[in-house]
A = this chain, B = another copy of it.
């Protein structure tokens, strides 16, 4: 973290947390009455709703039924199984508790939890408005709420206008981003080829200097997404006005037939040998779903270019530049560059602004790429940067709330998200809604022009012949997304959360600020732990935290071997891991762990870590000769500080202090056992 701005006056982890009281059920289930009362109220509301649909119908279930032996037997069986379920669930890891600082899970915001439960009773299916006449609209509103948080325009009159929808999780949203990029970016090549083969000439189209039919493939691939969307509209307008219906239909058919979606990756690249295999660039810290994405889409994981990171574990702009230059030299098209807003392992914030400005520079050289921001984790932190009126909060104003956050790069990164093409964000992570709720948001809803499972053969009367009615289009949501059936209840959870806590600094942002305060508190108080452990063990933060995740490396004093340090770390982890616990209830704290590959670090960072930890630099190597002493990766304890009650001045020793004490004990014990 950078130098403090105004440590005396900054609000922070020592403020009262009373304001949080009604948000969650609570670690002691303090709000049990509230939850039960509201839930039962709306359960009954649902019950009486059922009775108001054709009340004249005789109820199919007899009032006497419950006294029959079959009925009683079924209920007994159900209750017995539910008891069994409940008994097993009680072995669950207590994510809700501030003693849990492991993975990205915490307590659930009450509005979303209740909203989801109520909606489940109605069981809408957000694949089409016929199966979700109410909640589909809410899902699209979630898309707009999130889009506005990222700074995209959601005004239908504006070009571009953003849209978004809920996915089962961030992984699906990541797939979808690439699916959309591919569909749009290869389109102009196919359209040109079909037009040329039909011996037609629409003249000059958007983004091109000369005739469309003369444009070369590299130029057509390196149009911006906005240009591709406009180019397609122009071409279809021209087809509608200048061609006969039969000609237009034939051309539309030929275009569809030549698309990469139709021919497949192999067939398309065979047909366009002049175009190299496209690459996708991600920081080396990116989530493993990106590798999965390239495998799934048939793009090939070998075409995933991992870009090096700085010692803050942020994508290194120089490394990006070098990777782009390499692609340029090799004539490889760049499908997309992915920036991560809050990496899964370190919470680090990639410099999205640097990716945006790299694009501006490279565009001039004829190399364009789509930008996707994987904000599965950090997306909701954007609410901190958004004023109630939707404007960006100034850096100076924002810094007043924190001691360190946000540094220059972090601030610029969040501010630049609005220049990206699409974003992944997980309401089920920092949105504090139940699992099964991710989201995909695109800056330009025109991207959906390139995705439909229906053939475009019906030319007249279709969307092609006039302005697209996106509202009507998205009523058939399943046509424009990867998933089919999907729960309206998940969308509702996010929707009502954003209604009760709008996505700006005054509402949702306050919750996010709390998590950053936790991190700043932990960051500052580690010094005390370090002092107490002096001469026993070295505890370091390998990377200064950007947001609300903190990793620690621990090395017993005097140990020079990374392999031994890793083994030591694993022994500590055994004592805070959820899976190794015999009885979960006896655990004091829960953490998680991660590994950093030597190959992911630059030599300076690797050397610095060894130095700070007192390790022999030769023991941290990509080429392990002696596994007894060497390793190609560092074992770290990893802490997600999203529970809002980790700190707070008014209810005794806070949980981060306690965790530090506990860690001290574990370190002492581990050293004792190791002797």
Contacts and interface: CB of A to CB of B under 8 A. Distances in A.
Interface in A556-593: 577-579, 584-585, 588, 592
Nearest to A289: B484
A75 B262 CA distance: 53
Given A23-B74, A291-B453, A123 B98 contact: no
A261 B302 CA distance: 8
Interface in A21-61: 21-23, 25-32, 34-36, 38-40, 42-54, 57-61
A4 interface: no
Q: How many copies does the complex hold?
A: 2
B81 A500 contact: yes
Contacts of A302: 257, 262-264, 267
A624 to B, nearest CB: 10
Interface stretch (A226-234, A441-449, A489-497): A489-497
Given A62-B18, A302-B264, A111 B78 contact: yes
Interface residues of A, number: 163
Given A66-B21, A266-B265, A489-B435, A296 B482 contact: yes
Contacts of A81: 111, 496, 499-500
A535 interface: no
Contacts of A113: 120-121
A85 B119 contact: yes
A299 B301 contact: no
A52 B585 contact: yes
A488 interface: yes
Interface string A55-87: 001111111011010110011011101101110
A264 B300 contact: yes
A148 to B, nearest CB: 18
Nearest to A99: B54
Given A103-B131, A483-B169, A484-B289, A90 B296 contact: no
Nearest to A590: B130
A96 interface: yes
Contact of A118 (B61, B89, B135): B89
Contact of A88 (B22, B88, B134): B134
B577 A130 contact: yes
Contact of A295 (B78, B105, B261): B261
B82 A496 contact: yes
A214 interface: no
Contact of A102 (B130, B172, B291): B130
16 contacts: A29-B50, A36-B40, A36-B44, A46-B86, A50-B97, A53-B585, A89-B135, A93-B130, A95-B122, A103-B131, A125-B435, A172-B172, A264-B294, A264-B299, A298-B299, A434-B487
